[in-house]
Amino acid sequence: MLSVQTRAIVKATVPVLEKQGTAITKVFYKNMLNEHKQLLNIFNRVNQAKGAQPTALATTVHAAAKHLSVLLPHVEQIGHKHRALQIKPEHYPIAGEYLLTAIKEMLGATAPPDILGAWREAYGAIADIFISVENRMYKEAAWAGWKPFEAVARERVASDTEEFTVKAKPESGIDLSKCLSSLVST
């Protein structure tokens, strides 16, 4: 649970996030992905190039700062995507480090220690919520990690959406008959 002081500081930074949120997240992704090449396959490179990923993160961070109390429904939605991408608890400290560094870099001398400390505490609390929700999702999953599948059908269902029907390869050891139809992956 965040302290009253931390909540107040984070909420006070909302105007800064409205103005500089995307710039902060662009610096965040650039620095993190340059120094942690193993994370390149987690983030959609097209969305990175077009700026959609930094904008999405900036919007999420802004919404979390503005409405800390209504974060959980968004965590569930984002958690499903994180699980599909195999985001693990060990990725959160890396992201936190680079997010705080980006905030400090963008705010420069105007980034007093109390603001950075509040964001460190807020990020830690938010990361703990994500980790808890995603751990539950991993436990509920039919299998852990990546498994080999074969696409047996492909159908365009909208101008920007394709539906794939897959079957598990024998070596995967997966019985898809126990899974629900219409599962979505990323």
**Is 163 designated active site?**
no
Phi, psi of 161 (to 5 degrees): -135, 135
For residue 159 the two structure tokens come to: 């101008």
Q: Which residue type sits at 175?
A: D
CB neighbourhood size of 29 (10 A): 22
Burial class of residue 27 (count of CB atoms within 10 Å of its CB; 0-12, 13-18, 19+): buried
Task: Given the residues 29, 92, 98, 123, select the one marked as catalytic.
Answer: 92
Which residue among the candidates 18, 98, 134, 140 is catalytic per the annotation?
134
Those residues whose C-beta lies under 8 Å from the C-beta of residue 42, and which sit 6 or more positions away, are 85, 86, 87, 91
Q: DSSP secondary structure string, 72-89?
A: HHHHHHHHHHHHHTT--T
Distance CA 75, CA 68 (A): 11
Catalytic annotation on 121? no
154 in Cβ contact with 163 (< 8 Å)? yes
The catalytic residues are: 92, 134
